[in-house]
Structure 1
Amino acid sequence: MVAGGLEFGLLEAGSGPLALCLHGFPDTAHTWRHLLPALAEQGHHAVAPFLRGYAPTAIPTDGAYQVGALAADANALHHAFDGTDDAVLIGHDWGAFAAYAAASTGRWRKLVTLAAPPAGAWNHSYEQHKRFFYSYLFQLPGAERAVAADDFAFLDGLWADWSPGYPAADDLAEVKAALADPRNLTAALGYYRARMNPDLHQPRYATEQAATERTPDPPTLYLHGADDGCILPPDPTTTQALLSPGSKAEVIPGVGHFLHLQAPTDINRRILDWLT
Structure 2
Amino acid sequence: MRSTRVEANGLTFECLVEGDGDRLALCLHGFPDDAGSMAPLQERLADAGFTAVAPYMRGYAPTDPAPDGVYTASELGRDAVALAERLCAEHDLTEPVLVGHDWGAVASYVASVSSPETFERMVTLAVPPRFDALLRAHPGQFVRSWYMWFFQLPDVPERALRWNDYALVEFLWGVWSPTWQHPPERFEAVRETFDTDETLENALEYYRQISGGLFERAVTDRTPAVDDEPHIEVPTLVLHGDEDSCMAPALFEDIGGVFAAGTPHRVVRVAGAGHFLHQERPDVVGEEVVEFLTA
TM-score by length of 2: 0.84
Which residue in the other structure is 2:223 paired with?
Answer: none
Does 2:158 match 1:116? Answer: no
8 Å Cα contact 2:72/2:211 also seen in 1: no
Which residue in the other structure is 1:178 paired with?
Answer: 193
- Cα deviation for residue 190 of structure 1 reads 0.1
Structure 1 regions of 5+ residues with no counterpart?
199-212
Q: State the secondary structure of the residue aligned to 2:209.
A: helix
Which residue in the other structure is 2:147 paired with?
Answer: 134
8 Å Cα contact 1:123/1:232 also seen in 2: no
Distance 1:12 1:259 in 2: 21
Which of residues 199, 224, 236 is equivalent to 1:220? Answer: 236
- Cα deviation for residue 123 of structure 1 reads 4.4
- Cα deviation for residue 170 of structure 1 reads 2.6
8 Å Cα contact 2:134/2:251 also seen in 1: no
Which of residues 112, 121, 136 is equivalent to 1:103? Answer: 112
Distance 1:234 1:194 in 2: 26
Distance 1:22 1:151, change over 3 A: same
Distance 1:23 1:167, change over 3 A: same
Distance 2:277 2:206 in 1: 22
Calculate the aligned-residue CA RMSD, in Å.
Answer: 1.8
- Cα deviation for residue 166 of structure 1 reads 1.1
TM-score by length of 1: 0.89
Which residue in the other structure is 1:262 paired with?
Answer: 280
Identity %: 38
Distance 2:112 2:192 in 1: 30
Which residue in the other structure is 2:97 paired with?
Answer: 88
8 Å Cα contact 1:122/1:234 also seen in 2: no
Distance 1:152 1:180, change over 3 A: same
Which of residues 4, 7, 32 is equivalent to 2:12? Answer: 7
8 Å Cα contact 2:179/2:274 also seen in 1: no
Distance 1:27 1:144 in 2: 15
Supply the AA of the counterpart residue of 2:119.
W
- Cα deviation for residue 128 of structure 1 reads 1.3
8 Å Cα contact 1:240/1:249 also seen in 2: no
Size of the aligned set, in residue pairs, is: 262
Distance 1:269 1:250 in 2: 12
Distance 2:268 2:230 in 1: 21
Structure 2 regions of 5+ residues with no counterpart?
1-5, 214-228
Supply the AA of the counterpart residue of 1:248.
R
Could you list the per-position Cα deviations for residues 99-133 of structure 1 after superposition, in whole angstroms to 9, with x for gaps in the alignment?
01111223100010010001167344443111111
